[in-house]
Chains A and B, each alone.
Chain A
Amino acid sequence: MTDFSRLGVAAIRDGVANGEFKAVEVAEALNTRVAAAKALNAFIVETPEMAVAAAQAVDADRAAGKPLGKMAGVPIGMKDLFCTEGVQTTAASHMLEGFVPTYESTVSANLWKAGAGMLGKLNLDQFAMGSSNETSYFGNVISPWRRNDGDNAALAPGGSSGGSSSAIAARLCPAATGTDTGGSIRQPAAFVGISGIKPTYGRCSRWGVVAFASSLDQAGPMARDVRDCAIMLEAMAGFDPKDSTSLDLPVPAWEAGLNSDLKGKRIGIPREYRLDGIDEDIAKMWDNGIAWLKDAGAEIVDISLPHTKYALPAYYIIAPAEASSNLARYDGVRFGLRDLPEGAGLQDMYAATRAAGFGEEVRRRIMIGTYVLSAGFYDAYYTQAQKVRALIARDFDNAWASCDLILAPTAPSAAFGLGEKNADPLSMYLNDVFAVPASLAGLPAMSVPGGLDKQGLPLGLQIIGKALDEQAVLNAGLAIEQRSGFTAEAGEWW
C-alpha cells in the first residue's frame, strides 16, 4: 500500500489523475497523520472534513471525465494568516481567537479552484511577527528535527511560517502556504530542510491575508521539492483587481519551464553576505552550493551589494511602521476580542482590548512602528529607512549587470532551540539578516536544502532572482536539489 505521506504535490496530482489511487485515500491518510501529530502543535484548527470533501469533488470530477486542476487531489495546510470562509482565522493571536471570516482569501480560493483541499489552519508567529514561532498565542510549534547530540531539545521550526515548515517536514502534508515579509517562508524552510519560494512582490494577491507589513507581505508555497513549489506557486499566483499592488501579468508555466541546465547563467556571490564570524557549517554549505551551480553550467561571479548592512535596520523600521497602522483595526469595535472593563469608555476599551489581544512581540513592534512615524522622528527613521530601501533595490539593479541570480545562505544558523533567543529580540531579528534584502527589493527568493550541519540539522541555500524571474530561481533551486543529495529526514518521535 502506498504511503501517501511520502508523496509530494506532483506525485499525488499525477497519481490521482492516472487513477493509481483516489484523492479521498490521500486526504484520509493525511488527516490521520495530522491527528496523530498534535505534539508538534503545527495546526491551530484541523479541518479533516474539508480535506475529504475537496478530495471527493476531485474524484467525482475525474470519474465524470472533467478536466482536473493543477493541484487536484492535493491536501495542503493553510497558514492561519489566510482568511478562510467559515473557518476560524486567528493570525495566531488572542485578538482574533474565534474570528470566522465570511470571505475567502484570493490565494486560498485559487488553490481550492485548482483542486487542493484543506487539512487545517497552520500555526505561525502571532501576526507573522517572529522567526521561531514562539510568539503564537496558541503555543509554539515544535520542529520535527532534533540535534544529533541526543538531548532531544525542542527546536524552533523557524518563523513566521513555522506551522507550515514543521507540518511539511513531518510529512503531515505535502505542501503548505506561507507568507514572507522578511524571510518568513525561506527561514523556516531552511530550518526544517524543505523548499519554499517567495515570489516577486505582487505575484500573489494579498486580498484576504491578514496584513503585517503591506509593502513587504507576499504569499508563496512551501513544499518538499522545487517542482512542488513551482506547481503550487502557479496555482496561487495571478492578477487580482481587489489588490491594487497585484501585478497584472499572466502566470508563467513555471513547472513546464523547469530546467536545471544553467549554461549561460551567471551566479553572483555577494561579498557583503560573508559576515565576520560566519558559521563554519554555513560557509561550507555555501561553498558546496557554488560548486553545484558551477557543475550545472553556471558561471560564478563575485558581486557587491554595498548597502546590505543597512537592510536589517531599515526593515525593522519599515515593517513595524506599517504594522503599527495595519493593526490599528483590531480595536474591539467590530470583530475579534473586546475587553470592556466595568464602566469603561472608548479609550479604556481600546487599551484593555489591545493589551489583552496582542502578545508581547506584536506590542513591541506596534510601539516601534508608532515611534518611528511620530512627529519629529519620522524623517530620521521612516524617511531614512525608505531611502535605504531604495539603495538596497539599486544595489540589486547594479548587480544584475553582472549576474542573473544571487546565491547566499538563507539564515546565519541552523534551527535554534526554543527559548534560546526569545529573551533577546535583537538576536532574533538578526536571524533575518540574509532574508531581508530581497524582501525590501521585492525580488523572488527561494530557500532549498543545502545540507546538514555538525549537529545534524538542515541548512538552507537561498537563491535570489530578478523581479519576475521566478523561473530562473526555480531552475537554480532544481540544479542544487539534483546535486545536494539531500535526503535527510527528521525522525518520527512524536
Chain B
Amino acid sequence: MSEYRIQGNTGEWEVVIGLEVHAQITSESKLFSGSSTGFGAEPNSHVSLVDAAMPGMLPVPNRECLRQAVRTGMAINAQINRWSRFDRKNYFYADLPQGYQISQLYHPIVGEGEIEVTLNEKDPDSPTKKIGIERIHVEQDAGKLMHDQHPTMSFVDLNRSGVALMEIVSRPDISSPQEAGAYLKKLRSILRYVGSCDGNMEQGSMRADVNVSVRKPGGELGTRTETKNVNSIRFMMQAIEYEAQRQVDLIESGGAVVQETRLFDPNKMETRSMRSKEDAHDYRYFPDPDLLPVELDDAFLEECLASLPELPDAKRARYEALGLTAYNAAVLTAEAETAFWFEDLLAEGVDAKQASNWLMSELFGALNKLGKTLDESPVNPKQAAELLGLVADGTISGSIAKQVFEIMLETGQGASAIVEEKGLKQTNDTGAIEAEIAKIMAANEDKVTEYRSGKDKLFGFFVGQTMKAMQGKANPQIINDLLKKALG
C-alpha cells in the first residue's frame, strides 16, 4: 500500500518487517497446570507444584488454551492442524523452573492464514493489504525476576510461569512502520473480538518481537535483526523507524548488519544490541515426551467455529447496511468493546444512526475529557438508552440532552430522574411560545422586515431567541411551526 522508503546516500531503501506477537491466552488457569492466571497477585501465590517444576511433576494440557488458539486461527482464516505436538525449548534461566519452555516448533496447532489491514482505518478509501500469517503456536510463559528486593540477590516470582501464550508469526510482508502499526492494531482487535487475548500491552499480555531488514527496492533480502519484547504499538513503530535507519546508515558507511537480538529503549528511542547470533542459545528442541500429540476431532473444531463472534470486517459491512457512514462504521468496529457498546444501545431500542452519532460525538468526547476508557464509562448502555429514548420521544430536546448527560456523568443519576427533578421536560405549550415569539418580534422589528424581504437565514436567529426565552425547554418542532406562521 504505502511506498515507504528510506532515503540514503546511495538511493532509496525498502524496509522488510515481520512480527512475532506473543499474546497471553485468556483462560482461568495455566497451560499445563490448574494455577490461576490472575494478574497482579502477591508474588508466588499462583504457583503449583507443576509450575515450580518439582521432581516428578508432569504437564497436563489445558484444553481451553488450545481451544482459544484454534478459534484465533479460525478468525484469521488459517489452516488448523488437526495433529500438532509440543516441543521442549531447552535453556537455563532462573525464571524458567523446568529448564525448558514447552512450545511448538515442529508442528504448530495453527498454520498459514492472513490478516487484511487498512493503513488508515478511518478512511473508507484507504487501500488495504493482506499480511500473511505463517503460524500460531502455543507455549508457556516464563516467570519474572525481581532485582530490587535485596541488595545482593535476585528474587523469582513464578506467578506467570506456565501461563499460556500464543505466538503469532507474520510473514515478512510488512513494509513500513505504519503498516506494522495497522497490522498490530488489527490483530489486537481480532484477538479481542475472539476473546482469546485481552490485548493489554501495558500489562504485558501482548508484546511483539520485531524482525527488520533493509534492501534496495526489489533486491535481495538483507540480514535481519530481531528487536525483542516491544510492548506498545507506538514503541514498535519507533523501533522499526530507528532500526531501519540504523541499518541503512551502517550499510552505507561500509558496515554490515549483524544478525542479532536487540532491545528497544523507549526513553532514548533507540535499539541496542542484546546478543549476537554467535551467542545465541542452542535450544535443543525436541518433542516433549511427557505429552501426547494434540489431536483435534470434528466436534471440537465445529464447536470452535460455532463459538466465533462476528468479526470486525463483517460487522463493519453490516453497520454500513444499517445506514451508518463508512467512517462511523469503521470507528465503531475497530475495537470489540466499542461495537458491543453500540450493539447494547441497539438492543435497548435506540435507532442505529442516533446511537452511532451520540457515541461518536457525545460519549467519546466526554470520556476523552474524563481520561477514561469505554470500559470505565460512568454511564452504561442502559442508562444511555434511557437518555436517548427521552430525545427520541420528544420529552427533551437534543441540547437539553447534552445538559442531562453532563449531570449523569457527574452524579450517576438516571436521565428521567434528572429531567424530572430539574424540570427539563420540553414544553408543548403553544400559548407560552406564541407569547415569547410576539415579544421577540416586537423587539426586533428590523430583522422581521429583513426576513420578510427575503433574508431566510434570519429564521435561525428567531429560533435561537425563542429557545433562549423558553430556557431551552420548548419543543423545537413547535417553535419552528409557530415562527413560520408568525413571520409569514
Complex interface: chain A residues within 8 A of B88 (CB): 325
The residue on B at minimum CB distance from A99 is B55
Asked if B290 contacts A207 (CB within 8 A), the reply is no
Asked if A329 contacts B98 (CB within 8 A), the reply is yes
B97 is an interface residue with CB less than 8 A from chain A = yes
Q: How far in angstroms is the closest Cβ of chain A from B214? A: 28
B370 is an interface residue with CB less than 8 A from chain A = no
Asked if B52 contacts A207 (CB within 8 A), the reply is no
Complex interface: chain B residues within 8 A of A382 (CB): 286
Complex interface: chain B residues within 8 A of A79 (CB): none
Complex interface: chain A residues within 8 A of B90 (CB): 324-325, 328, 373
Over the window 83-106 of chain A, the binary record of Cβ atoms lying under 8 Å from chain B Cβ atoms (1 yes, 0 no) is 100000101000010010111010
Total interface residues in chain B, CB < 8 Å: 30
Q: How far in angstroms is the closest Cβ of chain A from B106? A: 10
Q: Say which residue of B56, B97, B289 sits within 8 Å of A334 (CB atoms).
A: B97
A209 is an interface residue with CB less than 8 A from chain B = yes
Q: Interface with B: A35-43, A211-219, A281-289, which one?
A: A211-219
Asked if A375 contacts B100 (CB within 8 A), the reply is no
B284 is an interface residue with CB less than 8 A from chain A = yes
A206 is an interface residue with CB less than 8 A from chain B = yes
- CA A91 – CA B54 in complex, angstroms? 13
Complex interface: chain A residues within 8 A of B49 (CB): 102-103
Over the window 339-362 of chain A, the binary record of Cβ atoms lying under 8 Å from chain B Cβ atoms (1 yes, 0 no) is 000000011001000000000000
Asked if B284 contacts A335 (CB within 8 A), the reply is no
Over the window 29-63 of chain B, the binary record of Cβ atoms lying under 8 Å from chain A Cβ atoms (1 yes, 0 no) is 00000000000000000000100111111111100
Asked if B286 contacts A321 (CB within 8 A), the reply is yes
Asked whether A374 and B58 contact (CB < 8 A) given A329-B97, A333-B94, the answer is no
Asked if B290 contacts A335 (CB within 8 A), the reply is no
Q: Say which residue of A82, A89, A373 sits within 8 Å of B286 (CB atoms).
A: A373
Complex interface: chain B residues within 8 A of A105 (CB): 56
Asked if B54 contacts A335 (CB within 8 A), the reply is yes
Asked whether A378 and B286 contact (CB < 8 A) given A325-B100, A346-B94, the answer is yes
- CA A217 – CA B70 in complex, angstroms? 32
- CA A145 – CA B94 in complex, angstroms? 47
Complex interface: chain A residues within 8 A of B93 (CB): 346
B99 is an interface residue with CB less than 8 A from chain A = yes
Q: Interface with B: A26-34, A240-248, A410-418, which one?
A: A240-248
Asked if A328 contacts B58 (CB within 8 A), the reply is no
Asked whether A374 and B282 contact (CB < 8 A) given A325-B90, A329-B98, the answer is yes
- CA A102 – CA B48 in complex, angstroms? 12
Over the window 390-411 of chain A, the binary record of Cβ atoms lying under 8 Å from chain B Cβ atoms (1 yes, 0 no) is 0000000000000000000000
The residue on B at minimum CB distance from A81 is B56
A370 is an interface residue with CB less than 8 A from chain B = yes
Asked if A243 contacts B58 (CB within 8 A), the reply is yes
B92 is an interface residue with CB less than 8 A from chain A = yes
- CA A333 – CA B92 in complex, angstroms? 11
B291 is an interface residue with CB less than 8 A from chain A = yes
B470 is an interface residue with CB less than 8 A from chain A = no
B292 is an interface residue with CB less than 8 A from chain A = yes
Asked whether A83 and B282 contact (CB < 8 A) given A325-B99, A328-B99, A333-B97, the answer is no
Asked whether A322 and B99 contact (CB < 8 A) given A91-B55, A207-B58, A373-B90, the answer is no
Asked if B286 contacts A325 (CB within 8 A), the reply is yes
Q: Say which residue of A82, A206, A378 sits within 8 Å of B58 (CB atoms).
A: A206
Q: Which of A210, A321, A331 has the most CB of B within 10 A?
A: A331
Complex interface: chain B residues within 8 A of A324 (CB): 90, 284
Total interface residues in chain A, CB < 8 Å: 44
* A233-266 contacts to B (CB < 8 Å): 241-245
Q: How far in angstroms is the closest Cβ of chain B from A274? A: 32
Asked if A328 contacts B100 (CB within 8 A), the reply is yes
Q: How far in angstroms is the closest Cβ of chain B from A223? A: 23
The residue on B at minimum CB distance from A329 is B53
The residue on A at minimum CB distance from B283 is A375
Complex interface: chain A residues within 8 A of B57 (CB): 207-208
- CA A242 – CA B49 in complex, angstroms? 12
The residue on A at minimum CB distance from B152 is A343
Q: How far in angstroms is the closest Cβ of chain A from B420? A: 60
Asked if B290 contacts A333 (CB within 8 A), the reply is no
Asked if B292 contacts A244 (CB within 8 A), the reply is yes
The residue on B at minimum CB distance from A207 is B58
Complex interface: chain A residues within 8 A of B52 (CB): 334
Q: Which of A244, A324, A373, A375 has the most CB of B within 10 A?
A: A244
Asked if A242 contacts B99 (CB within 8 A), the reply is no
Q: How far in angstroms is the closest Cβ of chain B from A348? A: 12
Q: Say which residue of A83, A347, A370, A378 sits within 8 Å of B56 (CB atoms).
A: A83
- CA A324 – CA B91 in complex, angstroms? 11
Asked whether A325 and B284 contact (CB < 8 A) given A241-B60, A331-B99, A346-B94, the answer is yes
Asked if B54 contacts A328 (CB within 8 A), the reply is no
Q: Say which residue of A242, A331, A333 sits within 8 Å of B60 (CB atoms).
A: A242
- CA A243 – CA B56 in complex, angstroms? 10
- CA A206 – CA B58 in complex, angstroms? 8
Q: Say which residue of A89, A325, A346, A370 sits within 8 Å of B55 (CB atoms).
A: A89
Complex interface: chain B residues within 8 A of A242 (CB): 58, 60
- CA A324 – CA B283 in complex, angstroms? 12
Asked if B53 contacts A334 (CB within 8 A), the reply is yes
- CA A333 – CA B282 in complex, angstroms? 22
Asked whether A213 and B55 contact (CB < 8 A) given A244-B60, A373-B284, A374-B284, the answer is no
Complex interface: chain A residues within 8 A of B56 (CB): 82-83, 101, 105, 206-211
B76 is an interface residue with CB less than 8 A from chain A = no
B156 is an interface residue with CB less than 8 A from chain A = yes
The residue on A at minimum CB distance from B32 is A244
13 new A-B contacts at CB < 8 Å, known A206-B290, A207-B57, A328-B100: A101-B54, A101-B55, A105-B56, A210-B55, A243-B58, A244-B59, A325-B90, A331-B92, A333-B94, A335-B55, A346-B93, A373-B285, A382-B286
Q: Which residues of B contact A (CB under 8 A)?
A: 49, 52-61, 88, 90, 92-94, 97-100, 154, 156, 282, 284-286, 289-292
Q: Which residues of A contact B (CB under 8 A)?
A: 82-83, 89, 91, 96, 99, 101-103, 105, 206-211, 213-215, 241-245, 321-322, 324-325, 327-329, 331, 333-335, 346-347, 350, 370, 373-375, 378, 382
18 residue pairs from A and B, CB less than 8 Å apart: A83-B56, A103-B54, A206-B58, A211-B56, A214-B289, A243-B58, A244-B60, A244-B291, A322-B289, A325-B88, A325-B284, A329-B53, A333-B94, A334-B52, A334-B156, A346-B93, A375-B282, A378-B286
